[in-house]
A and B are shown apart, each in its own frame.
Chain A
Amino acid sequence: MTTIDNTSLQAPALGGDNYLTHTRGFLSWALTLDHKRIGVLYLVSVLTCFLLGGVFALLVRTQLIIPDGLILNQDEYNQAFTIHGGVMVFLVILPGIPAALGNFVLPIMLGAKDVAFPRLNLFSYWLWVTGAVLLVISIFAGLDTGWTFYTPYSIDHNSAMGGVIPAVSGAFILGFAGIFTGMNFIVTIHRLRPDGMNWFRMPLFLWSIYATAVIQVLATPVLGITLALLAVERAFGIGIFNPALGGDPVLYQHFFWFYSHPAVYIMILPAMGVISEVIAVHSHRHIFGYHFIAWSSIAIAIFSFLVWGHHMFTSGQSPLMNVIFSFITFSVGIPSAVKVFNWLATMYKGAISWNTTMLWGMGFIFLFMIGGLTGMYLGTIATDIHLHDTYFVVAHFHYTMMGSALVGFIAGLHHWWPKITGKMFNENAGRLAFVLFMIGYNMTFFPQFMLGSHGMPRRYATYPADAGFQMYNVISTYGSYLMAISFFVMAGYFISSIFKGHRAAANPWGGRSLEWQCASPPPHDNFSEQPAVGDCYDFSVLRWDEATHGYVWREDVEHPGHDVEHA
């Protein structure tokens, strides 16, 4: 056996060069072509937007604690939920995993120096910032359409008072940022895979990002065209959506959901990819049913284009269309169920760490089960008629969008935090935040199922005092405060880890995909030479090393690099 070139497995000496210290100054960040720095820029931007969207969420919840509304008038409430929805969807959940974590991790997972088109990557980021600024400007212009911009409300100057055109322009530009990022990822995955990594040796996170990128590239242009038509209709009255001019307001819903349903999977698929990594790595156990999980991502990407009509069961579309859309909608649930069963089977006979990251991974399964199963009531037409546009739907999509997509993002943030910052966060504080979150989250959103099934419509600034809604609303509001506390705890230990955290080893969790084989934080070029890969879920080649507080390659196992070299 030859000696192993172990340099890439060891943390650099203190003060060694890494991507954070490689160059200095504002411009070295603002004009960086380094995918890691762009990932960090996205991360900071997304978390800032999350704070903004979260404040508006708390305003909404505080308003509803009493039937007549506590703090806002009708117009202010309508603006608050619009901003909450718009910011959280367009600026937090959509870019959260792909643009922030994906940008950081994807090239390293491929053993590459960067994405295929670094300049395009930087351009997407600044496009994204431009779109985000426009969207935030619309706050001050009084946007009150809801994040869905339904016609004819949004094109009627007597109804939606302001902010529609800046907001849809912002969403349009954000869409381009997403398309460019998606294209970049597709090309990177096709062209920059290292020796030995065929498609079915890719980490499952890459499969999910790939499926996501395909949806982004194919579906987002439809949103772009739709929003452009909406802006032109509002400004010039061309008569495509306005019934007074011979247009059809329901056509807008078809266009909008043709994008926005696949967009739901742009949000959830990367989270599923993160969870596949987290469950396998922190159970220290080979992922179960790799091919089924990989193909289920592709299946979800395909089916997601064919189910948009289930948002419109009560819109007046024909009963035949309702029936067909209900049928296809159920089919999209199957790949999701397959993933859950595979994650459970991965934990079987594993060696499971109860660290913060794994808790978030298991929390994902818990919340995603509730989110997914409650989708059954909504895919079934007879029950959807009753539940549509009530708080039941609000609860359902928060369990999938926040309880699953955002929790996946949080799990990924913990999973890759040592890699991104080179520092370990406090595990006990992490577990505390997780427990607070789970209690707060379920207090906030579970009562909303009852609220909805008993008939409370969504987007209500006030509600009848004697309808029995108040108790559920009160529980929900207090839950949201608890959740807010959990996020402040999280912010606290993340920030303190940067200054006081222990140095992270190259591989603190025991992962085997390539990002765990370069230093934490990675050097500017990630790898000095392109690394070779084996089965990225075969963890039996690793052992715990007490000295570095991380996992290292077992001395008695040959490094796959040498298979390639000697092949």
Chain B
Amino acid sequence: MFGLLATTKLGEATSGGGFWMPENASTTGSAVDDVFYFINNINYFFFILVIVILVVFAIKYHVKPSAHVNFASDAPTHNTPLELTWTTIPLLIVGVLFWLGMDGYLHLADPPDNAYPVSVTAQKWSWTFEHAEYGVTESAELTVPLGQPVRLLMTTPDVLHSLYIPAFRVKQDVVPGRYTSLWFEATKPGQYRLYCTEYCGKDHSKMLAVVTVLPEEEFQKHLGKLAREYEDIADKDLPVYALTRLYNRCASCHSLDGKSGTGPSFKGLLERTKSGTTVFTDGSTLKDKMGPGGEFEVPENYLRDSILNPQHYIVQNYAGTMPTFKGQLKQRQIDALVLMLKNHDKLVDAQGNPIEAPNLDDADISMGAGK
């Protein structure tokens, strides 16, 4: 049920497939595989041909070093018909390959009209998937319906990324300043990996997600549930909700165990905020800005500001690379994140691992009013 755990259940999705290609789970993937194996056969043939000739000649015409060398003057120095033949045959073969590749690609490039739309935002170093029809935003997980074309419309506010789902044989760069798109139609229910394949900096290799393919009915049910998720949830469950459903977007930069990452750790963040000891890059301290009449009347306002307007104040010794989450998080989700910080020590152990069944009976849920 929790997105964080989904990554551990992928064994079956990735173990399938053959020596060369992983399991295919999309309608267009089999055509790609057919072209791949067609090229494979041509390549095996030519590789073996050339290497056999190379080895045979090397053995047959071998002479011991410094033995009497027979400078064969009878061997031909050129043969135009033969050379034209071995120029023309590869030309014809690559002509066929070009055609097959183009044909398969143009099919990939043209999404069907009835495709289910998902908006994708790639940001250093996480993915956001928005289902406009359901008003649902997902992050570490992208849920899509089985047997229906899905079109991803993608953009990014920072640097180049690339969305890649090997099981569907699709990949498309995500480019700042424009939209790019790709489409696929999943043929098997299950979970598949999604990678960022365009180098995007520090945590490039952690910019991963999981695609979950559900049959149409289950898909609708699941998305319907997600749409109401943070509204239906009881206030006392908000901290756990934040940890399991929202924190994965923070995880690549903000640790839970006190270690500094790209950003400050979440451990002790609330205490540091309340005491106002945090120092910013401009030399000012949080204390100066807090309290009645200050910029942040209550500590919670500073946390909220950091999520929605992260470039406003940058903590000393950090580069300030955090993107804004304005528009991506609902007010109640921001509440949940603040509550998660407030109850940090009840939710995770000293090593930063989530506690299996946290005891939140006396949890501080004094911010549940934003519903």
Give A contacts to B, CB under 8 Å: 74-75, 78, 144, 146, 150, 152-153, 156, 158-161, 243-244, 247-250, 283-292, 314-316, 319, 322-323, 326-327, 330-331, 333-334, 337-338, 340-342, 344-345, 347-355, 362, 365-366, 369-370, 373-374, 376-377, 379-386, 388-390, 427, 450, 453-455, 457-464, 466-468, 510, 537-540, 542, 544, 546, 549
Q: Are B197 and A389 in contact (CB under 8 A)?
A: yes
Are the CB atoms of A153 and B77 closer together than 8 Å?
no
- Residues of B54-102 contacting chain A, CB below 8 A: 54, 57-58, 61-63, 65-66, 68-79, 82-83, 86-87, 90-91, 94-95, 97-98, 100-102
The answer, yes or no, to whether B17 is at the interface (CB within 8 Å) is: yes
Given contacts A249-B176, A292-B87, A388-B197, list 9 more A-B pairs with CB under 8 A.
A152-B158, A152-B176, A285-B72, A288-B76, A351-B63, A352-B58, A382-B102, A386-B166, A457-B196
Shortest A466–chain B CB gap in Å is 5
| Contact indicator A316/B205 (Cβ below 8 Å) | no
Residue of B nearest to A353 (CB): B65
Residues of B within 8 A of A333 (CB): 90, 94
Q: Of the candidates A348, A373, A453, A464, which one forms a contact with B10 in the assembled complex, judged by CB atoms under 8 Å apart?
A: A464
> Contact: B101 with A455, CB < 8 Å?
no
B255 to chain A, nearest CB (A): 13
Contacts A347-B57, A386-B171 given: A373-B43 contact, CB under 8 Å? Answer: yes
A466 touches B11 (CB 8 A): yes
**CA of A342 to CA of B90 in the docked complex: distance in angstroms?**
14
- B273 CB, nearest partner CB in chain A, Å: 23
Contacts of B204 in A (CB 8 A): 74, 78, 459-461
Known: A351-B70, A386-B169. Is A338-B83 also a contact (CB below 8 A)?
yes
Find out whether the CB atom of A381 lies under 8 angstroms from the CB atom of B104: yes
Name B150-196 residues within 8 Å CB distance of A: 158-160, 162, 164, 166-167, 169-173, 175-178, 180, 193, 195-196
Q: Which residues of B contact A374 (CB under 8 A)?
A: 43
User: Given A330-B98, A382-B100, A462-B205, are A389 and B198 also a contact pair (CB < 8 Å)?
Assistant: yes
A348 touches B57 (CB 8 A): yes
Place the interface of chain B in its size category. 35 or more
* Residue B249 interfacial (CB < 8 Å): no
Q: A334-B94, A351-B69, A382-B104 given as contacts; is B199 within 8 A of A158 (CB)? A: no
Sample of 8 A–B contacts (CB below 8 Å): A150-B160, A337-B90, A365-B50, A380-B100, A453-B22, A467-B193, A544-B68, A546-B66
In the assembly, what is the distance between CA of A350 and CA of B103, in Å? 45
Contacts of B203 in A (CB 8 A): 74
Given known contacts A323-B102, A466-B14, A544-B69, A455 and B57 CB-to-CB distance under 8 angstroms = no
Asked if B132 is at the interface (CB within 8 A of a chain A CB), the reply is no
Cβ-neighbour of B199 out of A286, A291, A349, A459 (below 8 A): A459
From residue B322, how far is it (CB to closest CB) to chain A in Å?
9
B39:A380 contact, CB within 8 angstroms:
yes
Determine the chain A residues whose CB is within 8 A of the CB of B320 once the complex forms.
158
